[in-house]
Structure 1
Amino acid sequence: MKRNPVAWAALVVSTAALVSSSGALRRMPAAPNVPAEGQKTAQALSQAFEAVADFVRPSVVQVTVTKKAARVPNLRNFPFPGPNGRPNPNAPNNPKDLEELLKRFFGPDGMVEPQQFGRQSHGTGSGFVYDNRGHILTNNHVVEGAEKITVTFHDGIEAAATVVGTDSKSDVAVIKVDVTNYPALPRGDSSKLKVGDLVMAVGSPFELSQSVTTGIISATERNDVQINEFESFIQTDASINPGNSGGPLVNMNGEVIGVNSAIVTGGRGNDGIGFAIPIDMASGVADQLVKDGKVRRARIGVQMAPLTPVLARQLGLDPTTKGILVSEVKEGSPADKAGLKQGDVIVGFAGDKITSMPSFRLKVATSPLGKGYEIEYFRDGKRQTATITPAPYEDVVFDMEKQRGSKDGGESQDGQPKSTAIGEFGLEVQPLTADLAKSLGLPAGATGLLVSEVKDNSPAEAEGIKEGDLITKVVKDRKIQPLKTVKEFQDLASKSNELSFYVQTGKDPGRFVTLAKAKK
């Protein structure tokens, strides 16, 4: 009888499997043995996390807030106008009618959210016991606009809280309860944090109270995230989600080293990038809020610009020099009294190196008032020092800032000066007349050249120069000098392949840009 080779192959495989299952073949271990030393290390780390969590949780609270949302809009006027823009008599005039209308167009899920129509809305954040007097530290955005605040401790005890003080510029807030028998978290030193340090975040993500996540310090001094006006965030990959805001980020000693504040995410959840306010910064704000109910910051009276390698070279410095460029000094300010001038390059303050505008601004702002500090800077290529005493922030205001809230003037006038092309840099300029300055809402006496046209695909367009921008200063002969005439600008452009100048858009603070001639 002829045998099917496929059938014989199947029989062989089946037999082998049977023999293997009966133990005739050598067994492979289910998993390699974990070395004893490795198990010991893992257990020690696990026990350390357990100990920190047990120590921290009694000091961490859930913060529940109730807010009053906006009242129902006048639905007879908007967004359902009648013919010729007149009110529509058939427009819905209450949430229920609008809900029915939305269902007709968008199906059963076209629902109206209650908070859209003046009902109370609720939110949840976190916080932690700050001292033995009932103060709780949290984020400003957690309690901002709250009508009612309830704090829930780890054992379920609830207490009503009142706001002691808030600071939106740093996103720090202090609230207070009458309960004082819960331990305050000890504070660590956030200035000593190192990338790679183990940390733990505790809070109430998605209202899940007393949740603990772990991770490491991913970065420090993140001061260009542009979340808060004053920021120098700790970045961590410890999972931080909505509801964690205001909760502590702690080290492996159980010391709070940051206040969890924000996340970077493509949705609502965590993508491994969380930010915490350093405790050194947060406690400095909190202590002022507890003492005075407000925060006082300092200022020295300089407008700043980033120092690029090109600008450094044009000012006679090593292109690798790190610092910030002084673009303007307010008359009578602490900087003016200390002898600082436009064009100086600040490289040190109070013994610390200055490498960026945000770090310098934060360093000055948080300096105690009434005290002198050494400031280090370059002028004409030479390193110099001076003593400067910062003034209260509100006492040092630039004219441009005073103008910011005013309305623009009337329409621009006919018969404006002729525009002039500036070499191969891709822009045209014209003198700034009094009428033009008024129409743009610029301060009386403003001088400079107005950008009247920007060529497509030009160096000027690439650097974000726009029509209506005002050029007020240029870098010339290793100094920053005021720009007064078109001819002066033309001459400078014709003699150089790079052109550095200070440009302003409307009432906003300006910036230095460097244009390079287009390659032919």
Structure 2
Amino acid sequence: MKTSTKTLLALSLAAAFGGFAATAIREGLRTPAQAEPLPAASTPMTAALPAAVGNQTLPSLAPMLARVTPAVVSVHTKQRVRVSPFGSDPIFRRMFPELTQERINESLGSGVIVDAQRGLVLTNHHVIEGADAVSVTLADGRTLKADFIGSDADTDIAVMRIAADKLQALPLGDSNALRVGDFVVAVGNPFGIGQTVTSGIVSAVGRSGLRGLGFQNFIQTDASINPGNSGGALVNLNGELVGINTASFNPRGSMAGNIGLSFAIPTSLVRNVMNQLVATGEVRRGTLGLETQDLDARLAASLGVTDPRGAVVTRVFGGSAAATAGLRAGDVITAANGERVDGRDALRNFEGLQAVGSRVTLDVLRDGKPLKLTTTLREQPRALTGADLDERLAGATFAELPERLRQAGEQGVLVEAVARGSRAAQNGLQAGDRIVAASTGEFDDLPGFRAGFTRPPAQLVLRVVRGNQRGDLPMR
């Protein structure tokens, strides 16, 4: 082959696998890339390449994409919001209701058809969160109403259903088979400009520890994922769905353009969450039933541990999976099912990604000596009724904090609802309050909060965070 031909072939290969334009990504290091309301435009033109150079056929993603793109849809949401010149001040809003106006917020995202017969479409929870109406536009131009099936904020997965014929779905691939360096392609509707394809490689698998993004087990890729790509498809070169695009990060803001930090939810996680949402409309998670804290150098020395990493058990709840396994306060958990555990957050993330009934083997250090303990995870409580804890809390419902808040360093339990006129309401509790401490004892989460009411306290005082204010509420 002549030198000029070799050079042209090398350039063509680069164009096929790496030649994609850097585009702006959403500002902020800690928030997922959100779908934004931007006007749709016609499909961008693509440069024409020769089918072959000399006797060498050029590699192309076109045949694979011809099968993939019909299964990727644009997701359009509408949300009615009431706005007032007085903001959220309830007094002035009641005094001057005529100044409050209704506005329709619209946004665009992406989705993937994963079951053509049932019309099931996957997208991100944050794409459809709070929407009053959702529609999807297929690659062939048809726009259809979408019915909400269920969503899970802590993994950012949502499932919808559309009714139409001649749908094309993507098969779910094995994301566990992905390796760093594998080629992947992202398909979605970034910035509302129309269906767009970007390519790259897998930069990392099993990525976690990203603040504010719930339970995490991300595929990291340098394929551009921008606002509007959220909920779109990440596929391998066989055209199989290996991930749902969810976020891109850029510490310098949108002016810096794409910096190759994009994340997708792997199908190994998507499949389990989707099946639960379709079957019941909600996700049930397993839990060990314990509280832990990070292992620091001081604790490590006192516990006879040479490597200061792991989650130190501080409390084991009676009747829990941890109690069945024989865990004790002072044990240090260093791995779960072979997955390294560096601290409390890593263990909580592992638990949150496991289904109820999952078998778990823990690597534990007890008095500096290693041992393995095995147990079966039990269901994590979703909510507690105040009357079941203490009659002074009657009328309130308590729930776990959203995992994105926990990843951001917040702790406590959420007041999910308060019945009007109830005893909890008379005591001053409001829906949306976050309880961070109580006279019943220390707690990190819902099981810990419940454990404090084993014996009814003579005095019950809750430390509440409401908006930017913090205060103590005595319950009478």
Give the corresponding residue for 1:318. Answer: 306
1:279 CA drift (Å) = 1.8
Is the 1:67–1:148 Cα contact (8 Å) retained in structure 2? yes
Q: Which amino acid aligns with 1:64?
A: H
State yes or no: 1:302 paired with 2:271. no
Q: Which amino acid aligns with 2:321?
A: P
Give the corresponding residue for 2:66. Answer: 54
State yes or no: 1:67 paired with 2:79. yes
Match of 2:111, SS state, is strand
Query: Where do 1:431-450 residues align within 5 Å?
Result: 442-444=438-440, 446=441
Higher RCO (C-alpha under 8 Å, 6+ residues apart): 2
Give the corresponding residue for 1:364. Answer: 351
State yes or no: 1:36 paired with 2:5. yes
Matched residues in 1 for 2:190 and 2:87: separation? 36
Q: 2:212 aligns with which of 217, 224, 227?
A: 227
Give the corresponding residue for 1:138. Answer: 123
Query: Where do 1:54-203 residues align within 5 Å?
Result: 54-72=66-84, 94=99, 117-132=101-116, 133-203=118-188
Matched residues in 2 for 1:257 and 1:283: separation? 10
State yes or no: 1:340 paired with 2:327. yes
TM-score, normalised with respect to structure 2: 0.67
Matched residues in 2 for 1:48 and 1:255: separation? 16
User: Could you say what the CA RMSD is over the residues aligned between the two structures, in angstroms?
Assistant: 3.7
String of CA shifts for 1:266-319, please: whole Å, max 9, x gaps.
444753222211221122211111121111111111212223355333321222
Q: Select the structure that is richer in strand.
A: 2
Is the 2:382–2:399 Cα contact (8 Å) retained in structure 1? no
Match of 1:341, SS state, is coil
Is the 1:75–1:92 Cα contact (8 Å) retained in structure 2? no
String of CA shifts for 1:321-341, please: whole Å, max 9, x gaps.
x53221222222221222111
Matched residues in 1 for 2:88 and 2:362: separation? 62
Give the corresponding residue for 1:376. Answer: 363
Matched residues in 1 for 2:9 and 2:190: separation? 32
Instruction: Say if 1:358 and 1:253 are closer, same or farther in 2 by CA, change over 3 A.
Output: farther
1:395 CA drift (Å) = 7.2
Give the corresponding residue for 2:318. Answer: 331
1:78 CA drift (Å) = 8.8
Higher deviation after alignment, 191-200 or 133-142: 191-200
Q: How many residues align?
A: 361
Higher deviation after alignment, 355-364 or 326-335: 355-364
Gaps of 5+ in 2: 17-58, 390-397, 401-411, 416-423, 428-434, 443-461, 466-476
Is the 1:223–1:358 Cα contact (8 Å) retained in structure 2? no
TM-score, normalised with respect to structure 1: 0.61
Matched residues in 2 for 1:134 and 1:217: separation? 29
Matched residues in 2 for 1:141 and 1:166: separation? 9
String of CA shifts for 1:27-73, please: whole Å, max 9, x gaps.
xxxxxx96534533554562333333323111110011111112445
Gaps of 5+ in 1: 1-32, 82-86, 96-116, 411-438, 448-504, 509-520
Q: Which amino acid aligns with 1:40?
A: L
Matched residues in 1 for 2:7 and 2:158: separation? 44
Match of 1:296, SS state, is coil
Matched residues in 2 for 1:405 and 1:158: separation? 38
Q: 2:189 aligns with which of 204, 225, 247?
A: 204
Is the 1:345–1:379 Cα contact (8 Å) retained in structure 2? yes
Q: Which amino acid aligns with 1:242?
A: P
Instruction: Say if 1:150 and 1:268 are closer, same or farther in 2 by CA, change over 3 A.
Output: farther
Is the 2:109–2:189 Cα contact (8 Å) retained in structure 1? yes
State yes or no: 1:262 paired with 2:274. no
Match of 1:70, SS state, is strand
Match of 1:146, SS state, is coil
String of CA shifts for 1:337-359, please: whole Å, max 9, x gaps.
22111111112323444345444
Identity of counterpart residues, as a percentage? 35
String of CA shifts for 1:238-293, please: whole Å, max 9, x gaps.
11111111001122222222111112234447532222112211222111111211
Higher deviation after alignment, 289-298 or 184-193: 184-193
Query: Where do 1:500-511 residues align within 5 Å?
Result: none
Is the 2:287–2:377 Cα contact (8 Å) retained in structure 1? yes
String of CA shifts for 1:183-226, please: whole Å, max 9, x gaps.
22122222232333222111111112211112222333221112
Matched residues in 2 for 1:179 and 1:59: separation? 13
Q: 1:276 aligns with which of 261, 264, 267?
A: 264
Higher deviation after alignment, 371-380 or 67-76: 67-76
Give the corresponding residue for 2:474. Answer: none
Matched residues in 2 for 1:353 and 1:76: separation? 45
Query: Where do 1:18-33 residues align within 5 Å?
Result: none
